[in-house]
Amino acid sequence: MIIAFSVTPLGEGVDVGRAVAAAVRIVRASGLPNRTDAMFTTIEGEWDEVMAVVKDATDAVLAAAPRCSLVLKADIRPGVTNAMTSKVETVERYLAEN
């Protein structure tokens, strides 16, 4: 499964970078394939391992703020691996057809 998620600390002012970095640190330490951009972190793995990372990342934000917003989107396809890369490669292949 692939999960794109965003955790945002609430109630601690406008500078959220330090708390978000703590969450991303958790994701990167997981060893699961992941990618972070300006809006979301995407992670790929089995349900239990991915959800455990999301929980730990959320807990890291809650350690820095009294409240946290979590946005999560999941692509659940049992038996599929390397989808984070292959989905993008497919779109790039179609874009190159012109």
The angle that helices 17-29 and 47-62 make with each other, rounded to 10 degrees, is: 150
For residue range 2-45, what is the model confidence (pLDDT) as tens digits? 999 999 998 876 678 888 999 999 999 999 999 999 999 999 99
Per-residue model confidence (pLDDT) at position 35: 96
Per-residue model confidence (pLDDT) at position 16: 82
CA 62 to CA 23: how far, in whole Å? 10
Per-residue model confidence (pLDDT) at position 21: 93
CA 53 to CA 51: how far, in whole Å? 5
Overall pTM > 0.85? yes
pLDDT at position 73 over 90: yes
Per-residue model confidence (pLDDT) at position 95: 93
